[in-house]
Amino acid sequence: MALVELASLQSTIGITFRDPLLLQQALTHRSYLNENPDFPLSSNERLEFLGDALLGFIVAEKLHSDLPHLWEGALTVFRAALVCNETLARIASSFQLGDYLYLGRGEEMSGGRHRQSNLSSALEAVVGAIFIDQGFAVAKEFVLGLLNGMVVKIIQEESIKDHKSKLQELVQAEQRTTPVYRIVEEKGPAHDKIFIVEVVVGDAVLGQGSGKGKRAAEQKAAQAALEHWAK
C-alpha cells in the first residue's frame, strides 16, 4: 500500500499526519515484515504498547470525571469493557481499518483483516502514532470521539451483565477462593469465533456459557453459575 492510499484513512479519522510514516507503521503487522525484510519500518507493536496505555488513561479520566458516584471496582469494570479487544475491534471495523493493514500473505489468507486482535492492536497503534505526531490533546480528542456513545452503552450493558464481579464476590465471601474460567471449545472461522467457556470453583463446574469473544462467554458462564448458586 502506497502512502498516498492512506489519504482516505486520514480523511476518515479527521487527522492529517505531519509524518505519514507513523501512520504506516501503526498499520504494519509483524507478518508483513517476515515476508518483506527490506521494509524500512518496524511493526506496530511499540506504537500499540503506547496507544494501549493512552487509551487506558483517557478512558479512566473520563469515567472518573463523569461518574463521581461510582466506586473503584465499578470504574475498573467499565474501563475494561471500553478498552477490551472486542470493543476496540468493533470500533476499528466501523471505519474499515482492516482494509489498510500491511499483512503477510499467510495472515491475509487466514482472515487477518477481520481478526479481532489485529484490529484492536492496529487501533491502539494508531492512537500511539497520533500522540507522537500531534500531541496528547489531539490523541485525547480522537479517542473520546471514537468512544462517543460507547461510554453510556457500555455502562448500561455492564450494569446489567457484570455477572463475573458478582460471582467473584460471592465465591470469595463464602469459600475464600476465586472462580477460574477456562475455554472448552472454539467454533467458527477465525474472524467470527464463538467461544464456549466454563467457570470452575475448586473441582466443581458451576456454569457454562458461549459468546462472540472470551469476555462475553465468561459473563454467560458466570450468569449460569449465579443461577446455579441460587438454587
CATH value at residue 152: 1.10.1520.10
In the predicted model, residues of the chain with pLDDT beneath 50 are none
Among residues 48, 107, 124, 198, the one annotated as catalytic is 124
Which residues share a beta bridge with 198?
182, 208
User: Are residue 192 and residue 99 in the same domain, yes or no?
Assistant: no
Report the pLDDT value the prediction gives residue 158, as an integer from 0 to 100. Answer: 58
User: Are residue 156 and residue 176 in the same domain, yes or no?
Assistant: no
User: Are residue 54 and residue 132 in the same domain, yes or no?
Assistant: yes
Range of the domain at 60: 3-160
Q: What is the pLDDT of residues 36-77, one digit of tens each?
A: 989 999 999 999 999 999 999 999 999 999 888 777 767 777
User: Are residue 60 and residue 112 in the same domain, yes or no?
Assistant: yes
Report the pLDDT value the prediction gives residue 1, as an integer from 0 to 100. Answer: 58
Report the pLDDT value the prediction gives residue 159, as an integer from 0 to 100. Answer: 58
Q: What is the pTM of this model?
A: 0.70
Give yes or no: 124 in active site.
yes
Report the pLDDT value the prediction gives residue 3, as an integer from 0 to 100. Answer: 56
User: Are residue 142 and residue 183 in the same domain, yes or no?
Assistant: no
Give yes or no: 38 in active site.
no
User: Are residue 85 and residue 118 in the same domain, yes or no?
Assistant: yes
Among residues 19, 38, 45, 52, the one annotated as catalytic is 52
Q: How far apart, in Å, are the Cα atoms of 224 and each of 95, 144, 209, 211, 221?
A: 35, 34, 7, 13, 5
Examine the fold and report which residue of 107, 134, 160 is the final residue of a domain before the chain moves on.
Answer: 160
User: Are residue 152 and residue 43 in the same domain, yes or no?
Assistant: yes
d(CA 75, CA 44): 29
User: Are residue 129 and residue 193 in the same domain, yes or no?
Assistant: no
Report the pLDDT value the prediction gives residue 4, as an integer from 0 to 100. Answer: 54
User: Are residue 116 and residue 179 in the same domain, yes or no?
Assistant: no
User: Are residue 202 and residue 111 in the same domain, yes or no?
Assistant: no
Examine the fold and report which residue of 141, 160, 179 is the final residue of a domain before the chain moves on.
Answer: 160
User: Are residue 216 and residue 114 in the same domain, yes or no?
Assistant: no
Q: Which residues, 6 or more positions from 20, have their beta carbon under 8 angstroms from its beta carbon?
A: 3, 6, 10
Q: How many domains does the chain have?
A: 2
Examine the fold and report which residue of 122, 143, 160 is the final residue of a domain before the chain moves on.
Answer: 160
User: Are residue 126 and residue 147 in the same domain, yes or no?
Assistant: yes
Exposure b/e, 4-42, CB count within 10 A at least 16 = b: eebeebeeebebebeebebbbbbbbbebbbeeeeeeebe
Q: What is the pLDDT of residues 201-226, one digit of tens each?
A: 888 899 999 988 888 899 889 988 87
Report the pLDDT value the prediction gives residue 88, as an integer from 0 to 100. Answer: 93
Read off the CATH number of the domain in which 203 is found. 3.30.160.20
| Burial tier of 189 (Cβ tally within 10 Å: 0-12, 13-18, 19+) | exposed
Report the pLDDT value the prediction gives residue 52, as an integer from 0 to 100. Answer: 96
